[in-house]
Homo-oligomer: A and B are copies of this chain.
Amino acid sequence: MNIDEIRAADKRLEGHVRRTPLLNSPALDKIAGKRVFLKAENLQHTGSFKFRGGWAAISALPKDTKGVLAYSSGNHAQGVANAAQHFGLPAVIIMPSDAPLTKINNTKALGAEVIVYSRESEDRDQIGAQIAAQRKLTLIKPFDNADVIAGQGTCGLEIAAQAKEAGIDEADVLVCCGGGGFVSGIALALEADAPKMRVRPVEPVGFDDVIRSLAAGKRLSNTSTTGSLCDAIISPCPGEMTFPIMSRLLHSGITVSDETCLRTMALAFTHLKVVLEPGGAIALAAALFHNKGLGDTIIATASGGNVDAPMFARALETLD
């Protein structure tokens, strides 16, 4: 993986991807005691950065591709379904039974066939591989796919350009982290275009497989993949392709509780007027409430905004 693959993905995405804004607010700066910017990928098409990876991967497939298959709690699902629809390919998406209804409905609305599995008792990789073989579908993995990582990296190119426009050349860049596709792509892009940035993964307390793996120097698993509100960023362990990239480029990470994510969703509602899902708020939460030892300027990514109304109402209840 190198920067050329990200620039090639950027060309394929041109005219289709939305250049999401870098948002900020004096009230949030005051809470953090530092300058905080939010890269609002929740405003991306399909409501998350996964649009980028889905498009980058599907636009690079050979012409004789019969269809695609993906497993996802919902954001990768929508990214893949959206791109498949655009390129005229059938899409089958394997989703966990506890995925937010918003994500399941939106994936279906994008023309995909959705198959539901149990996160606790079934292995999504096995189910996916079996159906892919039966129907001759191409599996689009959520992070262990070079084109997907390159697509997510295009967000890093934008961060570098927007930071430059705002006069920022040095900052801590906090990235919501599941399997590591987003943070790997961003780290590769910033290595090339904004080398003074320090990229750090942010994970839910108790689901910090990437942070523990980076400390141990080997891939470690989470003990559970259920029990967090941050459904979008819970994966069993760091990816095979993403782990070496993360090992080489990432600075130390930060963990955040579900409660702090909910409170941050409410603050983003009040001060930035955007809708974040719990996992999508985790990097901003770290910027606001766990920023000791970081520099004066923080850029936090908002990975997605696909949250059901009852969960959002619950977040709003954390306001004084």
Contacts and interface: CB of A to CB of B under 8 A. Distances in A.
A117 interface: no
Interface in A212-267: 266
A116 interface: no
Contacts of A106: 27
B18 A21 contact: yes
A205 interface: no
Interface in A271-291: 272-276
Interface in A9-67: 18-21, 23, 25-27, 40, 42-43, 45, 47
A23 B43 CA distance: 8
Contacts of A18: 21, 23
A-side interface size class = 20 to 34
Interface string A294-320: 000000000001100100110011010
A210 to B, nearest CB: 25
A102 interface: yes
A130 interface: no
Contacts of A273: 42-43, 47, 274-276, 305-306
Nearest to A310: B316
A135 to B, nearest CB: 25
A204 to B, nearest CB: 21
A82 to B, nearest CB: 8
Interface in A95-149: 102, 106, 109-110
A270 interface: yes
Contacts of A275: 269, 273-275
27 contacts: A19-B21, A20-B21, A21-B21, A21-B43, A23-B43, A25-B45, A26-B109, A27-B106, A40-B43, A43-B273, A43-B274, A47-B273, A102-B270, A269-B275, A269-B312, A270-B309, A273-B274, A273-B275, A273-B276, A273-B305, A273-B306, A274-B274, A274-B275, A309-B319, A312-B316, A313-B313, A313-B316
